[in-house]
A and B are shown apart, each in its own frame.
Chain A
């Protein structure tokens, strides 16, 4: 079983729709959770960072963590064509700087 599972299937949505992405993980030592956005042929850009269960909101983005279920989500409201990118979940344990990544979800927002 991989440490971090993220269904890599591409996702196409119309502009204005809500995008919902999620990852599951198996390592209960993971305590810190991140979502990165990666445009084609660019480096990952940090979007959201959280370390507690519950919701964290930043503009149109909401990150949700459920440590009891080992499940994290990212929601993008009022999606825009500029949101078209690959979204990577990442996580690490306390005292461990190594990030474990999911495979990434390619999102296409259609105008």
Chain B
């Protein structure tokens, strides 16, 4: 029973480079969420996706950040032209369809992005 898988676990980029973070949800889960955890901060919602659809991107920075969840393959969080302030832990979570009274999100181990 594989849980949420994320890779890479650690990613180092220089300012101006691109970062690609991957997330494979729990088998059978069709909904994916991305959260960011800055040092000394709680997790902040970024984006919620279903297969081939962005449902809620209200937490995504307006520039440089994008996310996708294609029909086949993992969800990707892409950060273009990274800056030092992007250094954080990025967590992916997944769930079944629209959350019910008894359903919630299960988190992956995270990708720790360091921007030099």
Contact = CB atoms under 8 A, between A and B. Distances in A.
Contacts, number: 65
B45 A98 contact: yes
Interface in A1-21: 4, 6, 8
Interface residues of B, number: 30
Interface in B12-43: 31, 33, 35, 40-43
Contacts of A99: 33, 35, 43, 45, 93, 105
Contacts of B105: 46, 97, 99
Interface in B89-114: 91, 93, 95, 98-99, 101, 104-110, 112
Given A43-B4, A44-B43, A97 B106 contact: no
B52 interface: no
Contacts of B44: 101
Say which size band chain A's interface belongs to: 20 to 34
Contacts of B99: 32, 92, 97
A100 interface: yes
Contacts of A100: 45
A41 interface: yes
Given A97-B56, A98-B58, A43 B109 contact: yes
Interface in B53-110: 55-56, 58-59, 91, 93, 95, 98-99, 101, 104-110
Given A45-B107, A104-B42, 5 more contacts: A43-B6, A43-B108, A46-B106, A98-B45, A99-B33
Interface of B: 4, 6, 31, 33, 35, 40-45, 48, 55-56, 58-59, 91, 93, 95, 98-99, 101, 104-110, 112
Q: Which 5 A-B pairs have the closest CB atoms?
A: A101-B42, A43-B107, A103-B42, A101-B43, A43-B109
